[in-house]
Structure 1
Amino acid sequence: MDTWIWVLIVVVALIAGVALGFFIARKYMMDYLKKNPPINEEMLRMMMMQMGQKPSQKKINQMMTMMNKNMDQGMKK
């Protein structure tokens, strides 16, 4: 075979590998963040106390619901 065919095969394989790797890594990170959210209730409670607010469970639940809703909307995009 000619050399240009081999070069074309290598370039196509490289592009396909990069694209496939990107989508696999993206899926892995989305699943990881869904299982292990970056902020949980305890962290939220500590942040509110550091800001001088007395966190009630109702306020924490509202903020967690808001954060989860925003995260779900971000994943759908």
Structure 2
Amino acid sequence: MDLWVVILVGILALVAGVALGFFIARRYMMTYLKKNPPINEQMLKMMMMQMGQKPSQKKINQMMSQMNKMQK
């Protein structure tokens, strides 16, 4: 009977550890991406210039707002 208790406690601890680790990692990544967005206005402007487009501020603002909507 004691063996079953040990196995059950071990499985419960493993499941709780995995769940807790997932939520902690998810929260960390969300705060990291909020502080360090993957693309900012300067990077977007440089990419558009490399593609041969002359970016206007209006176009950059539209693309940034669309990217922000996609992230949320």
TM-score, normalised with respect to structure 1: 0.88
1:67 counterpart residue number: 67
Which amino acid letter does the alignment assign opposite residue 5 of structure 1? Answer: V
Q: Please report the RMSD computed on the Cα atoms of aligned residues, expressed in angstroms.
A: 1.0
Name structure 1 gaps, 5 residues minimum.
73-77
Residue of structure 2 in register with 1:16 after alignment: 16
Superposed displacement of residue 53, structure 1: 0.1
* Structure 1 counterpart of 2:3: 3
- Count matched residues: 72
Once residues 50 and 35 of structure 1 are traced to their aligned partners in structure 2, the CA distance between those partners, rounded to angstroms, is 26
Spell out structure 1 runs of 4+ moving beyond 4 A.
none
**Structure 1 residue aligned with 2:25:** 25
* TM-score under structure 2 length normalisation: 0.94
- C-alpha displacement of 1:39: 0.2
